[in-house]
Structure 1
């Protein structure tokens, strides 16, 4: 076959990345959209319910992000096995990943139900802390379904079939809105539960999504070569430990990145209900926009991993660079929107003047970190495709905690910048991570290219 011209190859990489990423972006947006819906609906109830969901969902996110990070190793491994033509190994690997997901679900369930000490340690207001714990107890019942669904989702993504992520996400948001309406506001004879109702609604949605995705994979012929449901395998300690060795550093990295935002939310929670409600509004919207580079990072992982599986290092490098470029372009668009129409954005969340005013000021800082956030997310996805996980974990410790969170704490509580100080810390941490991760991907792929030349 004649070589593909450079410009045609670049165009092919862009199109292929967007085709893979499109459903993932929709899936991520709809998944995060459930928290968006919770926040908007809680804002119509009152500041305490809004603050309770802000704190409770932050703690839930911290635990879930660790589990999510560990299971991200599934898509990286499946994509490399598929690229290498070793499809016969994918089914058994995924069955072991499901066992691991259920083990992680038990840990997540117990951890979030024992999180009261966290709010006590940082002195969250008693009323907010009590309501947050009730929210966590409710949503925790969805942990097994969510974790198993993630394992199945990453299996499908690793094979290059990303549409189910979109379908499951759309199902989730479609079910979450009416369930929230009934359980939060007390409709159809159900007592009004406020923020706690949002927790129950989300748990129910997780189970519906698991059933739907399982049925889809069992029914669609394209999954037949992997024989995922051909038999029920017993837990294999060696396989699970091997997956953990790859996934744990990713889990720690994702946890530390998420921990920067969770720690920020919890520390701001000590400043009172008004700052934490405003922070939740601004961070919720910024997080919603972040789902786009997260979706892109999943596609980048698959494309880089598949290229490595076929032994195409140059293709892996270009796939990573194209994905990072696309993510950065989106960051520019997102930042522009936040800077030009912040009042319009905040108006969707709350009508309380004091909350809205502070949230608008925080969106300015959110706009500043868009480029760094998009670049670090896409670079991390590219490194996962290379199965490079340990040094990125170290970088996360340095960038997010040693620099970002400590800088934010100092500015907020020592320099008395208020919540804006924590946001400056976020900007600093994400910028350092973006530089370290993108540089590492460039260096590793360049070294591998030199070895084969």
Structure 2
């Protein structure tokens, strides 16, 4: 029977979670910034290049989100093994995850090279489609670097070392801007490749990020007990299948949530130019703000997983609830800012009065779902720390698609609410997910304590 919890108090837990989360938030913001930079710089070339990056990056994002979700299982598992004092086993697990990552890279490459069929089905303008394919062919060269870097990043995060995520993110955006300047606009003797140049710039950045992450792990002494690069391990099907059992549901869950937002943008596009512009402005801002709870979610996974690994169910429950509480506080602050300054926020993106008016009204729905979005991503992170992923996967299908998308579609097209209907659908889906995931963590963490016999 485990000993009673000797985990630190509430104040220490809050401080430790925030220390872990801060570099992750900065890393997420810089990753978001790379796409923002590509979009802004493409807009200076012309609408065809801008459209090509919008279409190409959307297709790439679908594969990326799924891959990211699968590999999130690495941080959950490493955090538990580290908490249990088994660094060598965590190192072996990471080597097996690297083999899986290469298989996922192959899938990303196939997706990029076959994207022409998707664009044909969506009847994308031929000029835009051709340029988007060039963008995808270029960025596909970075797929192996992307997945290997993510695996090593999540290994480091699972140990509780999150600063490398920040360093890699800052390196990415710092290199992306000059590489875009050279390859998109044809400076310093390079040909002007436009949107295709943005794809090459991103591929180069991904390899630079991988080299930095590899150097950091090989150099810093805190990684030596794990011996990740100290030996060669052939693929072990049993280990890889075990990783997939945890990771595939996470990948599917991340894809379901991301797909809800992507599909909503496509459906709003049917309504015309003004709704699309307003929707894009409001969605871009909410996406930027979401990077904070998303980074916090990674820290929650590590704190919960580490407590689970050391046999401390009370500490695991406390870590998850503290993380969810921090996410709730941030969500309230974020919602307050949106309610107080909706038009000022929109004016950062556009000066068109019609777009400002409509986007500001949509931000009111975004203010409400700040609470739901913060809670659901924090609770999902806590559940990942317990390696509970299958039931949350089914929750994601129910909340985001069976309920959220159905409500959004009906209000938008049947009830004639316009883009506001789709935002109500998103709000509904996120709220259902927040209730289901938070309630599951509450029950599961309490049940674990009761089963262990430890007094909380």
TM-score range, shorter chain: over 0.9
1:171 paired residue number? 171
Q: Which moved more, 1:173-182 or 1:335-344?
A: 335-344
Deviation at 1:452, TM superposition (A): 2.6
Deviation at 1:289, TM superposition (A): 1.1
1:247 paired residue number? 247
2:82 paired residue number? 82
Query: Match of 1:369, SS?
Result: helix
Contact 1:124–1:269, Cα closer than 8 Å, also in 2:
no
1:412 paired residue number? 412
Cα distance between partner residues in 1 of 2:288 and 2:119: 25
Contact 2:5–2:312, Cα closer than 8 Å, also in 1:
no
Contact 1:183–1:194, Cα closer than 8 Å, also in 2:
yes
Contact 2:300–2:378, Cα closer than 8 Å, also in 1:
yes
1:58 paired residue number? 58
Cα gap change, 1:45 to 1:255, in 2 (>3 Å): same
Cα distance between partner residues in 1 of 2:116 and 2:89: 43
1:26 paired residue number? 26
Q: Which moved more, 1:413-422 or 1:29-38?
A: 413-422
Cα distance between partner residues in 2 of 1:340 and 1:199: 38
Cα distance between partner residues in 2 of 1:248 and 1:424: 29
Deviation at 1:359, TM superposition (A): 3.7
Deviation at 1:86, TM superposition (A): 1.0
Deviations 1:341-381 (A, max 9, x none): 34443344445665555444433332221111111000000
1:267 paired residue number? 267
1:229 paired residue number? 229
Cα distance between partner residues in 2 of 1:290 and 1:196: 28
Cα gap change, 1:327 to 1:106, in 2 (>3 Å): same
Query: Match of 2:234, SS?
Result: coil
Is 1:73 the counterpart of 2:73? The answer is yes
Q: Which moved more, 1:344-353 or 1:243-252?
A: 344-353
Deviation at 1:333, TM superposition (A): 1.9
Cα distance between partner residues in 2 of 1:410 and 1:116: 31
Deviation at 1:449, TM superposition (A): 1.7
Cα distance between partner residues in 1 of 2:411 and 2:190: 46
1:310 paired residue number? 310
Q: Which moved more, 1:79-88 or 1:56-65?
A: 56-65
Deviations 1:147-168 (A, max 9, x none): 1100000000111111100110
Deviations 1:404-449 (A, max 9, x none): 1222222233333333322221111111100000000000111112
Cα distance between partner residues in 1 of 2:433 and 2:238: 33
Deviation at 1:36, TM superposition (A): 2.0
Cα gap change, 1:270 to 1:108, in 2 (>3 Å): farther
1:39 paired residue number? 39
Deviations 1:247-267 (A, max 9, x none): 111111111111111222233
Deviation at 1:47, TM superposition (A): 4.8
Is 1:379 the counterpart of 2:344? The answer is no
TM-score relative to the length of structure 1:
0.92
Cα gap change, 1:368 to 1:148, in 2 (>3 Å): same
Task: Tell me how many residue pairs correspond in the alignment.
Answer: 450
Cα distance between partner residues in 1 of 2:308 and 2:326: 21
Query: Match of 2:209, SS?
Result: helix
The 5 A counterparts of 1:55-134 are 55-134=55-134
Q: Which moved more, 1:177-186 or 1:146-155?
A: 177-186
Give the alignment's Cα RMSD to 1 decimal. 2.3
2:283 paired residue number? 283
Cα distance between partner residues in 1 of 2:227 and 2:6: 38
2:158 paired residue number? 158
Is 1:400 the counterpart of 2:400? The answer is yes
1:388 paired residue number? 388
Cα distance between partner residues in 1 of 2:94 and 2:316: 24
1:441 paired residue number? 441
Cα distance between partner residues in 2 of 1:262 and 1:250: 18
Cα gap change, 1:240 to 1:139, in 2 (>3 Å): same
Cα distance between partner residues in 2 of 1:295 and 1:200: 27
Contact 2:260–2:401, Cα closer than 8 Å, also in 1:
yes
